[in-house]
Chains A and B, each alone.
Chain A
Amino acid sequence: MSDDVSAPARVAVTEAAAELLVRLRAKHGDLMFHQSGGCCDGSSPMCYPDGDFLTGDADVHLGDLAVDEFTVPVWMSRNQFEYWKHTHLTIDVVPGRGAGFSVEAPEGVRFLIRSRLFTDEEWAALEGA
């Protein structure tokens, strides 16, 4: 999902989450994710109509999820990224209620981050990219 084919993607999406994104896009238009931290529904990815959440220099663009015919950008606070950057993130979905203003909650489901460590090869490629 990066332009640089040699660097591995930092983010991915499961099939179930991708199907949900297709339905949500039909309802809300273009979408974006911002990974949250902290209390309650924290440490969860928040899905918003694209541009509803203002990103800036305080954020890192982790990549774009390629879903169907469109893409969904994924963002995270720069200071949070420092603690997360050694892990690959996959956006999944589970039954649940959610909280916050994430657009999937009314569907009775909640996006969820699944993480794995980058392999040494991937990490070297990311560091070099």
Chain B
Amino acid sequence: MTVYAAPGTDGAIATYRARYDHWIGGEYVPPANGQYFENPSPVTGRTFTEVARGDADDIDRALDAAHGAAPAWGRTSVTERAIILNKIADRMEEHLEELAVAETWENGKPVRETLNADMPLAIDHFRYFAGAIRAQEGSISEIDGDTIAYHFHEPLGVVGQIIPWNFPILMAVWKLAPALAAGNAVVLKPAEQTPASILYLMELIADLLPPGVVNVVNGFGAEAGKPLASSPRIRKIAFTGETTTGRLIMQYASQNIIPVTLELGGKSPNIFFGDVAAARDAYYDKALEGFTMFALNQGEVCTCPSRALIQSDIYGDFLADAVARTEAVKQGNPLDTDTMIGAQASNDQLEKILSYFEIGRAEGAKVLTGGHRAELDGDLAGGYYVTPTIFEGRNEMRVFQEEIFGPVVAVTQFADFDDAIKIANDTLYGLGAGVWSRSGETAYRAGRAIEAGRVWTNNYHAYPAAAAFGGYKGSGVGRENHKMMLDHYQQTKNLLVSYSPQKLGFF
């Protein structure tokens, strides 16, 4: 067991500055309007730094820097860019523990997750795209003996990226790595709940990237996000967040005729077929952990397995075991490596989760465990903690249909395969799903029948690079985490070349 010292206290391995400006052109630049906003840690609820409150003027300056850097960056060889991405990964690896503590302090998630998931995945993501861009090839079509179509990949130029607060560094890296590999310059706006950890990273890697290739402007969505998303000076906008803002960003993009990629969340079903309980063995234990994955990252994951569907013949026993497993989740100081669930990212998140406890109960859903705020002692008393919660009810209830974004799962039962698929697909979303069965055939057929972009089969919440991630239905547009992501950051240039000396004869 290790308890890391909080940033800003004696013995801390990560130290935040007292104030953060924007990161523009490879250096800190004060906000044009001179304003800053306070940034509290969800661990204690107390402010630990203040951050530049950007607006359209700052976005413009960042776009100037990006446009200044983009042409030369886009002309670098893929070898040079891959080397830089690998160096960024190496630098992050050298500072992994420090970055993990910084991320936990800003977001509230347990440090066991930032140490073992967020940071290793982010590091690997740079390496994956360093490899992918080296291996990428254009194509040639031989139209006829004299006519050849050559297809080249070209960068888009300057792109905008808007990052969510649930995995501040990892989600930024999911978008940065492919954009940089493909040769684009970036203006990135972090979420206002988690504006500082990405700047912590930018400082660490400042000497590795040419100035202006990555620019970070903080601020509120209405003041800084909107001028970025609606700017005619970006060639693409990428967003992870919710549906209304996703639609709004598409509307802005339509005015500038630029592509968008959107990752907009879900209400992911986690399906447990009866044969899961055929034995009380390692697999059964793994399935119970799979159920409890709704508490990973405090449930603040767009693919949170927030609906558990359990086959009727094992429902009672499996659910009893699942409740016991959930009640064993250790809540406490996120900086303690033994802590399994930390703090919700903000007070409004906490309030929203509590409001869903009310409507869930009002609709008749039964609380099997949890259902309340967790009151912790000492320094943690001001933090935003919720006890992992299991609701039992029916799929048409609002707690089964809306993304609560907290450690809350809604459980129901199904009779047979068709019933399971019907319930699983009765949702507006289609991002993730889980299927648990000892039968390869059942698992395969279920996976293909579920309308979702990612179906974890006998596992859940793994996010390796090289496994495409993205949504069906209301969950968005595009795929991340895979080399196909390069297509979202590239233009296709076609040279159609005639090697014939003969005229066509039309004129």
On A, residues with C-beta under 8 Å from B are 34-44, 46, 48, 52-54, 77, 79-80, 83-84, 87, 94-103, 105-106, 110, 112-117
Contacts and interface: CB of A to CB of B under 8 A. Distances in A.
A119 to B, nearest CB: 12
A99 B398 contact: no
Interface in B59-103: none
Contact of A117 (B241, B362, B396): B362
Contact of A98 (B246, B348, B356, B362): B348
B245 A106 contact: no
B15 to A, nearest CB: 23
Contacts of A96: 346-349, 351
A39 B265 contact: yes
A38 B396 CA distance: 16
Contacts of B164: 39-40, 99
A100 B251 contact: no
B240 interface: yes
A114 B355 contact: yes
Interface string B425-460: 000110000000000000000000000000000000
Nearest to A113: B355
B405 A42 contact: yes
Contacts, number: 164
Contact of B221 (A37, A77, A102, A117): A102
Interface of B: 37, 53, 164-166, 191-193, 220-223, 225-226, 229, 240-248, 251, 263-266, 300, 302, 346-349, 351-352, 355-356, 358-359, 362-363, 396, 398, 401-405, 428-429, 474-475
Contacts of A43: 242, 352, 356, 402-405
B166 A83 contact: no
Contacts of B347: 94-97
A39 B263 contact: yes
A40 B166 contact: yes
Given A38-B429, A39-B164, A52-B248, 14 more contacts: A36-B243, A39-B166, A39-B242, A39-B302, A40-B302, A42-B241, A44-B352, A46-B244, A87-B398, A97-B348, A98-B348, A99-B165, A99-B191, A102-B222
A87 B363 CA distance: 9
A99 B401 contact: no
A112 B240 CA distance: 20
Contacts of B245: 36, 41, 46, 99-101
B223 A106 contact: yes
Contacts of B241: 38-42, 99-100
B53 A106 contact: yes
Contact of B251 (A38, A40, A53, A80): A53
A40 B242 contact: yes
Contacts of B246: 38
Most buried by B among A54, A83, A114: A83
A100 B165 CA distance: 11
Contacts of B358: 114-115
Most buried by A among B243, B347, B402: B243
Contacts of A52: 248
Most buried by A among B222, B300, B475: B222
A96 B53 CA distance: 16
19 contacts: A36-B244, A37-B242, A37-B402, A38-B242, A38-B403, A39-B240, A43-B242, A44-B352, A46-B244, A53-B251, A83-B398, A94-B351, A100-B242, A100-B244, A102-B221, A106-B37, A112-B352, A112-B355, A114-B355
Given A77-B243, A96-B351, A101-B245, A39 B220 contact: no
Contacts of A103: 222
Contacts of A40: 164-166, 191, 240-242, 265, 300, 302, 405
Contacts of A46: 244-245, 248
Contacts of B222: 101-103, 105-106
A41 B240 CA distance: 10
Contacts of A79: 428, 474
A22 B341 CA distance: 39
A79 B429 CA distance: 11
A105 B220 contact: yes
Nearest to A48: B248
B265 A38 contact: yes
Contacts of A53: 244, 247-248, 251
Contacts of B240: 39-40
A112 B351 CA distance: 8
Nearest to A106: B220
B348 A94 contact: yes
B214 to A, nearest CB: 21
A98 B349 CA distance: 8
Nearest to A117: B362
B192 A39 contact: no
A37 B225 contact: no
A110 to B, nearest CB: 4
